[in-house]
Amino acid sequence: MAVKFKNNAYTTLSAGINASVTTIPVVSTSLFPTLGASDHMYLSIIGGSYVEIIKVTSFTSTALTCVRDQDGTTGTAADSADRVELRVTTAMLTDAIADSNVDVFKTIEISGQTDVVADSGTDTLTLVATGGTTLTTTADQITIDTPVAGASIGLAIAMSVAL
């Protein structure tokens, strides 16, 4: 699920809500970012003496579908005309950082061969040393050592790619 952002996105409630409703009526959603099937955004409902953060998973032109009680806030009854804003929240930043770590590598290129492209966070690159070749790793490096002259050299690389 990707968290979505957009500058200066806001609306107001078109009717009052109770503390547990998950479909929230708003005047308009035209300023909010488009959400794909697995996307979401965090909005703040702002009243005179409260702020509640909600996680919006979809919306129509005048209603938000959401999960209440987000990011340490509690579901609160809110009044018609209360402002609903897309603000930076801890949950939004946490999700964005998690989303940015999905693809550790994107493309493996070998001269003269077809590129292998990682398109999922579950793609796996496997290196297997053969024929006397050894592989050693540190936290940030893989070293490939080939055998001495006269020995057969080998290295197998396999990758499972989700299609």
Place of tokens 């946490």: 94
Rounded Cα distance, 7 and 30, in Å: 13
pTM given for the model: 0.64
The secondary structure element, H or E, covering residue 65 is: strand 63-70
For residue 150, the model assigns a pLDDT of: 58
| Three-state DSSP state, 20 | coil
CB 57 within 8 A of CB 40: yes
- The tokens describing 30, both together, are 């035209």
Stretches where the chain sits below pLDDT 50 are 157-163
For residue 135, the model assigns a pLDDT of: 77
Domain coordinates in residue numbering, the chain: 2-100, 107-160
Strands (E), the chain: 2-3, 10-12, 23-25, 39-46, 51-59, 63-70, 83-85, 107-108, 116-117, 124-130, 134-138, 141-145, 154-160
* Highest CATH level, class, for 2-100: mainly beta
For residue 112, the model assigns a pLDDT of: 75
CB 45 within 8 A of CB 13: yes
